[in-house]
Amino acid sequence: MKPRIKIDSSILSFVVILTGLLYLVKGLYVSTPFVDNIFDGLGLILILKGNLFRMSARGHKKTHSQNSQSLVTTGPYSLVRNPMYLGSFLMGAGFVLMLWPWWCLPFFAWLFYLRFKRQVMIEEEFLSRTFGDEYKAYMNKVPAIFPSLKKKERVKIKEVFNKEELFITKEKRGLIGWPILALVLETFQEKLVFGATDFFQTFFTFLGTAIIFFLGFGLIYQKTLVLRGE
């Protein structure tokens, strides 16, 4: 088994065990299903946004990298150097808000940092050797995983999420797969933590949140096109 797979398997086992232990201490969670539904909605938004980042990053790289022969610095890569990791972080944070006490977010961020710090360093060392000064100049201009506020203001949503590139890779399956997994896990969590669950209430919370998110995303995207005269 590859070392990377071993590490991921160990982390997954640890997370599953920790989640089970947290469920045993019900006082750690919010006290009412209503507040829990708010965190569910926020978590789903992060999951959807994270998946869109992964879809955009993979689609843009597939379109512009020329089979990894060219350095990609446009699209989502103009916002951060590692948009796939940013997407993964947002999705993980979304699941944490749903399934763990909300104050566990810093712990998740620390765990994410420990897991991917070395991986990012290895990948960037390879890119530095491959593309030389071009990549070093890119590193000086664009942050690694989390965008700066100034950079975020300058980059337009259409530049980050190209609708023609979003759906050309298998990442698009996550728009359905991840919310379904979240719905199943959240139903299980409510049963254990609150002693009962209302599946249809959770389902419609998820559905309503998803509709609002995509409507808002579409309006912002369209507004960007209008402002730019496209």
What is the structure's pLDDT at 59? 94
Flag whether 10 is in a domain: no
Flag whether 130 is in a domain: yes
What is the structure's pLDDT at 151? 61
Flag whether 55 is in a domain: yes
Flag whether 67 is in a domain: yes
What is the structure's pLDDT at 54? 95
Flag whether 166 is in a domain: yes
Q: Based on DSSP, count helices (H) and strands (E) in the chain, helices before strands.
A: 10, 0
Q: What is the distance between the alpha carbons of residues 59 and 162, in angstroms, rounded to a whole number?
A: 9
pLDDT mean values, one per 10 residues, the chain (230 residues): 63 78 80 82 95 95 85 92 94 92 91 89 92 92 85 72 90 94 89 84 92 91 57
CB 87 within 8 A of CB 67: no
Could you list the residue range(s) of the whole structural domain that residue 127 is in? 41-227
Q: Is 32 exposed, middle or buried (0-12, 13-18, 19+ CB in 10 A)?
A: exposed
What is the structure's pLDDT at 5? 60
Q: Please give the C-alpha separations between residue 55 and each of 72, 82, 183, 225, 228, in angstroms, as whole numbers.
A: 15, 13, 21, 20, 24
What is the structure's pLDDT at 26? 78
Flag whether 36 is in a domain: no
What is the structure's pLDDT at 226? 44
The DSSP annotation for 166-178 comes to HTSSGGGGHHHHH
Flag whether 45 is in a domain: yes
Q: What is the distance between the alpha carbons of residues 21 and 16, in angstroms, rounded to a whole number?
A: 9
Flag whether 155 is in a domain: yes
Total number of domains constituting the chain = 1
Q: Please give the C-alpha separations between residue 7 and each of 3, 33, 85, 96, in angstroms, as whole numbers.
A: 6, 35, 17, 20
